[in-house]
Structure 1
Amino acid sequence: MEHGVAMIIRNLAGVTLLEIPEDCKLENLNLPNADLAQADLEGMDLSFANLESANLDGADLYWAILYSANLTRANLENALLCGADLKRACLRWANLKNANLSRDNLGGATNLSGADLRDALIEGCDFSGAEYSTKTQFPLGFTPARYGMTLVAEK
């Protein structure tokens, strides 16, 4: 990797889409179908990013800011999302199998206020301590309290 480049982002076909420089903010990023499996995105600002159908399998999204991000049909299996800001994010049909959305190491909650998780795959997903609001939309039959989630006021 070149000096000053923190990450190379490729699509699912392996084609390089973007070289991300160190200390770059990634809000408004438009990368549908990107292959970000095992990517280190800890603490990165991905607000309003379009990551529809992106492969984020095993990605480190600890403390990532995904405010209003489009994660429709994204593969977040085994992803680390502790302390992430997912307010108003669209996670419809996303694969969250075995993803970790529990509290971070400082006790901070993953925020799902106003997020859309309808039809998401959540088998084995850890939601313990995650926050949601009355505007959060869940898969049919999902009971937030059963998963250890906390209801908070919409801000």
Structure 2
Amino acid sequence: MIGFVDSHMELNLGAKFNGGFLDDCNLSGGVFKNAIFEGVCLFRSDFSNADLTQAEFYLCMALGANFSGAVLNNAKFIGGGFEQVCFANADLRSASFLKDNMGGEVILYGADFTSTVLDEVTFDGCLYDATTIFPVGFSPEVHGLLKINN
């Protein structure tokens, strides 16, 4: 488990994080363009104000992670759990939340999308619950999200 990563690091060349734990990491303000996070645990990690343009999160578990103010344009979230994750004020333009290759959904229980830019976002097979917060005027079912009563 890594506890601190230099928040000013730039990984523009598509760094790959394969498996392992980045729990409780301070990655705020970092540049992670084209980074690939595959099967990584990101519990309570702080990506606030980070540039994650075209990053890919494949089968990641990010319970309580903070993506507030992050740039996630064209990012892909494929399968995995993003429960109680804060996306408030993030820019998710053209991002995709997709089922994995085995049909596993992206879980967004308790996620906070307050004031998040969701223009042209694809939600294919995402699950949310009553604690998930969406921007004012956003209709999750119209955008392909499925509400689960748990």
Given the two structures, how large is their TM-score scaled by the length of structure 2?
0.87
Give the drift of 1:84: 2.8
Identical residues among aligned pairs (%): 28
Match of 2:136 among 140, 143, 146: 140
Q: Do residues 84 (structure 1) and 80 (structure 2) align?
A: yes
Total equivalences in the alignment: 143
Which AA in structure 1 matches 2:139? T
C-alpha spacing 1:88/1:100, structure 2 compared with 1 (3 Å): same
CA deviation after TM superposition for structure 1 residue 128, in Å: 2.0
Alignment of 1:5-84 (within 5 A): 11=8, 14=10, 24-84=20-80
Bigger Cα Rg: 1
In the alignment, is the contact (CA less than 8 A) between 2:7 and 2:28 conserved in 1? Answer: no
Gap runs ≥5 in structure 1:
1-7
Higher strand share: 2
Give, in angstroms, the shift of residue 148 of structure 1.
1.0
- Of 86, 99, 102, 2:95 maps to 99
Gaps of 5+ in 2: none
Deviation at 1:103?
A: 1.4
**Structure 1 residue 25: Cα displacement:** 1.0
For 1:15-58, what per-residue CA distance to the aligned partner results, in whole angstroms no more than 9, with x for missing partners? Answer: 9xxxx997541011111101111111111111100111011111
Q: Distance in 1 between matches of 2:144 and 2:38?
A: 24
Q: Which contiguous aligned blocks of 4+ residues in structure 1 show a shift greater than 3 angstroms? A: 20-24
Aligned mates of 1:68, 1:75 — CA distance in 2: 18
C-alpha change, 1:9 and 1:107, in structure 2 (3 Å) is: farther
Separation in 2, partners of 1:63, 1:21: 12
| 1:5 aligned partner | none
Letter in 2 for 1:69: A
- What secondary structure does 1:101 align onto? strand
Alpha-carbon RMSD: 2.3
Q: Give the SS at the match of 1:81.
A: strand
CA–CA distance in structure 2, aligned partners of residues 84 and 151 of structure 1: 16
TM-score, length of structure 1 as denominator length: 0.84
